[in-house]
Amino acid sequence: MKRNVKTGLVLASLLGGLFVGTNLQETAIAESSQTTATSHLAQRAAAAERASRSKDARLGTADLEERVAEHQRLEAEKKAQEEARRAAEEKKRQEAAARAAAKKKALKKAPAASAPASGSNYSGGNTVWDRLAKCESGGNWAINTGNGYYGGLQFSLGSWRGVGGSGYPHQASKAEQIKRGKMLQASGGWGHWPACSKKLGLR
């Protein structure tokens, strides 16, 4: 009987030790699993932090590149505008120079202004044509001031040639100019000399 009790106690002790050992092993495993899980969480957190920083770095680089591109675009537009302004100014300068050259060339081609002539081309008189010439040109039948009107009656070249005149009016004699003046007056009245004909009471 005592032997059986003793044997039972030994078995109980062994089973208790085995149970305690099993619990300790399970606790260790659980703690290890928890440590591993914590480590995994820490690793994931660190990876997420690195990914976030990498993303921020990429965004920062992209923003910087965008700003650089915008600056370059604005500089290119500014340069293009400046070049266009300079081209416009150069075109204006060339046009002005061309106009000045054309004017100078035209002046060279125009007949020289005639000095007052003696005799019949610069004489007095009291006919209507003398008085009209006195008003129009000071009575100088050979005048050419370069204003596009010629002679004592200040013909335009078109009017002179329209009534059959040849050459330039101021190069013709007083009698020839009066002859062409009469023809012009017959075709259009005294209105060909509006100011002076009105001043002289001819209309």
| 136-195: pLDDT as tens digits | 999 999 999 999 999 999 999 999 999 999 999 999 999 999 999 999 999 989 999 999
Q: What is the pLDDT of residue 184?
A: 95
Contact 159, 188 (CB under 8 A): no
- 4 or 170, higher pLDDT: 170
pLDDT in tens, 104-143: 665 555 444 444 343 445 556 789 999 999 999 999 999 9
Average pLDDT of the residues in 11-40: 62
Do 134 and 154 meet the contact criterion of CB atoms below 8 Å apart? no
Count, in order, helices (H) and strands (E) of the chain: 5, 2
Mean pLDDT of the chain: 81
Q: What is the mean pLDDT of residues 67-72?
A: 94
Please tell me the predicted confidence (pLDDT) of residue 25: 63
- Output the pLDDT for position 108: 58
Report the range of poorest mean pLDDT among 14-18, 27-31, 74-78: 14-18
pLDDT number for residue 124: 65
pLDDT of residue 26: 66
Structure confidence at residue 103 as a pLDDT band (50, 70, 90): low
Burial 147-166 (b: 16+ CB within 10 A, else e): eebbbbbbbeeebbeebebe
pLDDT at 52 over 80: no
Calpha distance 55→95 (Å, rounded): 59
**8: its two tokens:** 């039972």
d(CA 75, CA 58): 26
Would you state the structure tokens that stand for residue 194, as one six-digit string? 């509006």
